């Protein structure tokens, strides 16, 4: 795909507090903070076990390759090291990927469950407004697939424009660090051509506590690497639900550094 990303003028304003608190893939973490502050009632009463809407798989993935909902164990590679992207620590593996981190990008993931998990983590962060357009623009063009790619590009572009205006920074600069963390991972399903997992994301709730949300993230094998499947309508809030502390036990935590 070679879609040109236009630098559109912002369509809306947001409160400075929201800009300062934008987190991982703005639409995921901002929705966590807003929901827990009582400003968003869409998923406020989601039960811990409530199923989440899944992202749309690319049309060229055969039905037989679309993973079914059979959770499998997350097994972390033994050669993990760590890198920091937009203030967020992410695991890196010489065997599972990313093997190529040049120019701030993340490419070269293994066609394995651990490779799919690492691809989901890295590509989600690198399509966040926080990393700046020098990273999210080429990542969105080259490493995101599915019927909602255009909507996702528009959402990230517009949210960056809004934050840029509010923070008064030059176009191209990254935003403030991500004020959230990925606390755990659960693989709902895995196949050689597609994988579906949930990320447990934690962020400050603004009242001294912690807000948690489970977000469905899916990746598709393109023949040479994993690509992120854009969320429905380009909006991560459509595939996330607030969860309570009890749900943490069903997720595999990220390994310690």
* Model pLDDT for residues 129-172, shown as the tens digit of each residue: 999 999 999 999 999 999 999 999 999 999 999 999 999 999 99
Q: Spell out the residues 6+ positions from residue 54 whose beta carbon is closer than 8 angstroms to its own.
A: 196, 216, 218, 239
Average confidence (pLDDT) over 165-181: 92
| 85 φψ region: left (φ > 0), alpha (ψ -120 to 50), beta (else) | beta
Say yes or no to pLDDT of 205 above 90. no
What CA–CA distance (Å, rounded) separates 200 from 213? 6
pLDDT score at 64: 41
pTM passes above 0.75: yes
Nearest one of 124, 158, 106 to 236, comparing CA atoms: 124
Q: What is the 3-state secondary structure (H, E, C) of the chain?
A: CCCCCCCCCCCCCCCHHHHHCCCCCCCCHHHHHHHHCCCCCCCCCCCCCCCCCCCCCCCCCCHHHCCCCCCECCCCCCCEEEEEECCEEEEEECCCECCECHHHCCECCCCCHHHHHHHHHHHHHHCCHHHCHHHHHHHHHHHEECCCHHHHHHHHHHHHHHHHHHHCCCCCCCCCCCCCEEEEEEEEEECCCEEEEEEEEEEECCCCCEEEEEEEEEEEECCCCEEEECCHHHCHHHHEEECCHHHHHHCEECCCC
pLDDT of residue 241: 94
Asked if pLDDT for residue 51 goes beyond 60, the answer is: no
112-126 pLDDT, tens digit per residue, is: 999 999 999 999 999
CA nearest neighbour of 217 among 120, 150, 133, 137: 120
| C-beta separation of 219 from 8 below 8 A | no
Task: Give the mean model confidence (pLDDT) for residues 39-53.
Answer: 36
Per-residue pLDDT for 197 more than 90? Answer: yes
pLDDT at 107: 98
Q: Do β-strands 210-221 and 240-242 pair in parallel, antiparallel, or remain unpaired?
A: antiparallel
């Amino acid at each position: 795909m070679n879609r040109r990303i236009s630098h559109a003028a912002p369509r809306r304003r947001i409160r400075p507090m929201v800009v300062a608190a934008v987190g991982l893939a703005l639409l995921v973490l901002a929705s966590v903070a807003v929901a827990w502050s009582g400003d968003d009632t869409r998923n406020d009463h989601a039960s811990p076990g409530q199923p989440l809407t899944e992202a749309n798989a690319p049309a060229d993935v055969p039905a037989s390759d679309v993973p079914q909902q059979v959770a499998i164990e997350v097994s972390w590679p033994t050669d993990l090291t760590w890198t920091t992207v937009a203030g967020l620590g992410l695991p890196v593996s010489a065997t599972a990927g990313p093997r190529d981190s040049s120019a701030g990008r993340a490419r070269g993931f293994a066609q394995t469950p651990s490779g799919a998990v690492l691809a989901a983590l890295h590509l989600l962060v690198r399509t966040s407004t926080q990393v700046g357009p020098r990273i999210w623009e080429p990542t969105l063009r080259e490493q995101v697939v599915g019927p909602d790619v255009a909507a996702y590009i528009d959402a990230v572009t517009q949210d960056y424009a809004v934050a840029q205006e509010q923070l008064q920074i030059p176009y191209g600069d990254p935003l403030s660090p991500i004020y959230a963390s990925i606390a755990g991972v659960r693989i709902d399903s895995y196949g050689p051509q597609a994988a579906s997992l949930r990320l447990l994301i934690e962020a400050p709730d603004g009242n001294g506590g912690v807000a948690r949300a489970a977000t469905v993230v899916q990746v598709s094998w393109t023949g040479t690497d994993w690509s992120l499947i854009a969320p429905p309508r380009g909006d991560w809030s459509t595939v996330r639900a607030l969860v309570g502390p009890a749900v943490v036990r069903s997720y595999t935590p990220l390994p310690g550094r």
